Amino acid sequence: MPPRLRLALFALALACIAPALPRVIGAMPVFGSHPLPYGDIINRLAPVQRHVTNMVSAVNFDYRGFDTLGEEMMLMVAVTGTAVLLRGHRGESLTALPATVPGRRIPPHSEALVLTARWFAPLTILFGLYVALHATVTPGGGFQGGVIIASALLLLYLGEGYSGWRRFMRTEALDAIEGGGSAAYALAGLAPMLTGAEYLQNTLPPGQLKSLLSGGLMLILNAGVACAVAGGFGILFVEFLEETRAEDPNQ
């Protein structure tokens, strides 16, 4: 379809919908002062029932834990699909050099950059672990912590360059972390069924309010999500950055 025809169709659709838009916006609930029944129930019950202070984690890993299992599977499928698409035609050699464009040399890394990356990557990982571990207490959780940990891997890439970075990024380990995290989430749901409870029902002791060990089953699910997200994004980084390699001359 030519772009002008598409644009004309878009304009036509917009002309049909536009008169209704003010009415729809006008019929929306008053911003900031309308009842939030479901949220209020969670806010009231979660600190009492589950002894957690972070309501968002309580929704993610307990009250709507089954939905998060679906999100978990989506993440795994997206990462697997990316790996399958990109891994297709290249070799798996670990020591391949980064590709170069004729006439443009790769400049040597400045010592300041290497030092900064080596300092900040472990600190970023530490911060990611802190955010992930405090899921049930303060703002944070496996999703956020996992992404922060994964971003530290990119910092290391900045500092070490492709060859040095790829040498310690073991895809087997990343695959195991990603799949292990997802499996831990799915299997932790089965454990309560051994005692006659329902799938993903939180039957573990809830612990003390404001304690790092509060939340029962949420802690296991949260750890699974943190591993799956950190490993999954690590795989994505490896797959995309392997695209910058030089072609293997032996192939």
State which of residues 124, 144, 182, 202 lies at the interface with other proteins (CB under 8 A).
144
Residues that bind other proteins (rule: CB under 8 A) add up to a total of 61
User: CA 149 to CA 152: how far, in whole Å?
Assistant: 5
Contact predicate 70/219, CB 8 Å: no
User: CA 219 to CA 195: how far, in whole Å?
Assistant: 19
Nearer of residues 30 and 194 to other proteins, judged by Cβ = 30
Amino acid (one-letter) located at 74: M
- The Cα diameter of the chain in Å comes to 69
Nearer of residues 145 and 216 to other proteins, judged by Cβ = 145
Dihedral sign from CA coordinates of 178, 124, 170, 133: negative
- How many residues make up the chain in this entry? 251
Q: Is 6 among the residues that bind other proteins (CB under 8 A)? A: yes
Nearer of residues 172 and 243 to other proteins, judged by Cβ = 243
Q: Is 129 among the residues that bind other proteins (CB under 8 A)? A: no
Binding mask 68-87 for other proteins (x = CB under 8 A): x--x--xx--xx-xx--xx-
Q: How far is CA 208 from the centre of its chain?
A: 28
Binding mask 159-198 for other proteins (x = CB under 8 A): ----------------------------------------
Binding segment toward other proteins, per CB under 8 A, in 40-48, 98-106, 109-117, 212-220: 40-48
User: CA 245 to CA 163: how far, in whole Å?
Assistant: 9
Q: Is 210 among the residues that bind other proteins (CB under 8 A)? A: yes
